[in-house]
Amino acid sequence: MPRIKLENQLDIITYKSEYDKILIQFSADWCGPCKRITPQITNKFEQLNTNKILHLYIDVDKHKALSNNFNIQSIPTFFIYDKEGDLLIAPVTTSDINELTEYCINNGIMVNDSSY
C-alpha cells in the first residue's frame, strides 16, 4: 500500500482517480505528535495487501492554501476520501494510534487493529 508525501497539489486529482480510498494526513515535520503517529500508521498501511488505498501525507507548512481549504486548526488531522461515494469522511484530529485505527476501520480501511 503506497504512502506518498504530497509535492504538487494538483496530484490529488490523479490520486482520487487511482485509489478507492485515501487516508489524508495533515502534519508537519516539526510536530512531535505527528512524528510519533506517522511511522505507526505507515507501518499499519504497509501491512495492507492492496494497491487501492493510499496514505497521503500533506505538510501544512508546504501546502498552506490546501490546509486552509480543509480548515486545519491542529495537527495531526486525518480525513478519508472515499472514491465510491466521491465523499470526504469527517476528520479526526489525533495522535493516538488506536483512535486512528478505529477511524480507519469504521470507514472501510481494514488496518490491523493490534496495538503497538
| Predicted confidence (pLDDT) per residue in 17-62, tens digit | 999 999 999 999 999 999 999 999 999 988 888 889 999 999 999 9
Q: Assess contact for 60 and 26: CB atoms under 8 A.
A: yes
Burial 37-52 (b: 16+ CB within 10 A, else e): bbebbeebbeebeeee
Residue whose entry in the numeric block shows the C-alpha cell 508525501: 5
Q: Does the N-terminal peptide bond of residue 76 adopt cis geometry, omega within 30 degrees of 0?
A: yes
pLDDT higher than 90, residue 71: yes
Q: Grade residue 1 by pLDDT with cuts at 50, 70 and 90.
A: low
Q: Could you tell me the domains of the chain?
A: 3-106 (3.40.30.10)
Q: CA-CA distance, 14 to 12, in Å (whole number)?
A: 5
Residue 76: is it exposed, middle or buried by C-beta count within 10 angstroms (0-12/13-18/19+)? buried
Mean pLDDT of the chain: 92
User: What are the strands of the beta sheet with 53-59, ordered from one edge?
Assistant: 3-5, 53-59, 21-27, 77-82, 87-93
* Residue, of 57 and 85, whose pLDDT is higher: 57
* Residue, of 84 and 77, whose pLDDT is higher: 77
Q: Grade residue 3 by pLDDT with cuts at 50, 70 and 90.
A: confident
Q: CA-CA distance, 51 to 104, in Å (whole number)?
A: 16
Query: Which residues are catalytically annotated?
Result: 31, 34
Mean pLDDT on 58-78: 96
